[in-house]
A and B are shown apart, each in its own frame.
Chain A
């Protein structure tokens, strides 16, 4: 597609439950990025993929967060045993390439996760 698609739009989970978020990148884009927006404005990088391979996972809280990008499937971000502090908007972005580091990232509309 021509836009990054994210589902669901809103997700409510009780503390300790699992949350799974999905992202379909723009067709032809090889790179997928996940960001977490907390406190309304602060963006934090979580993880990136080059096709189905993890490219950079330096931002991932590894104990409870995991992510995958499998062929012919939307990418996913999963949080096991959610905590209150996981409440945030999770954005997915895709880019065509990292060659020359000039390609911009296109963002999806985000998934708002509320942990109660």
Chain B
């Protein structure tokens, strides 16, 4: 079945450092790909999305490019802030008879120190 694999955390960075969180997927067909962020004690917020190969999703300085050839959707940010500390989830939404449910990776906790 479809699945998502993320790099293990926690990831600890200093403010203004470069961030990469790796995400790879296994899916039939052409899924839509998402990054969600969960701040402590809160629900999930959509950070960015991409719906087809070579699409680049971007929001709040974060970017991710849908790479079909490597089945990847890595999250990047050029300069992280303390306020970016959260758990980041990569997810896919299958097509066909998947019913639209999201399949999540295991989450990567990011801690940014001043």
Contacts and interface: CB of A to CB of B under 8 A. Distances in A.
Contacts of B45: 107
Given A107-B44, A107-B45, A108-B43, A101 B100 contact: yes
Interface string B43-54: 111100101000
Nearest to A103: B100
Contact size range, A? 20 to 34
Contact of B99 (A55, A102, A105): A55
B58 interface: no
A74 interface: no
Nearest to A47: B101
In this complex, the member of B43, B45, B107 whose beta carbon has the largest number of chain A beta carbons within 10 angstroms is B43
Contacts of A40: 107
Contacts of A43: 89, 102, 104, 107
Contacts of B106: 41-42
A80 B95 CA distance: 33
Where chain B touches its partner, the secondary structure class is strand
A109 B43 contact: yes
Given A41-B106, A109-B42, A102 B32 contact: yes
Interface string A7-37: 0000000000000000000000001010100
In this complex, the member of B49, B101, B104 whose beta carbon has the largest number of chain A beta carbons within 10 angstroms is B101
B67 interface: no
18 contacts: A33-B102, A41-B87, A41-B106, A41-B109, A42-B104, A43-B89, A45-B101, A48-B100, A58-B99, A91-B43, A95-B100, A101-B94, A101-B100, A104-B46, A104-B49, A107-B44, A108-B43, A109-B43
Interface of B: 32, 34, 36, 42-46, 49, 51, 87, 89, 93-95, 98-104, 106-107, 109
Interface of A: 4, 31, 33, 35, 40-43, 45, 48, 55-56, 58-59, 91, 93, 95, 98, 101-102, 104-110
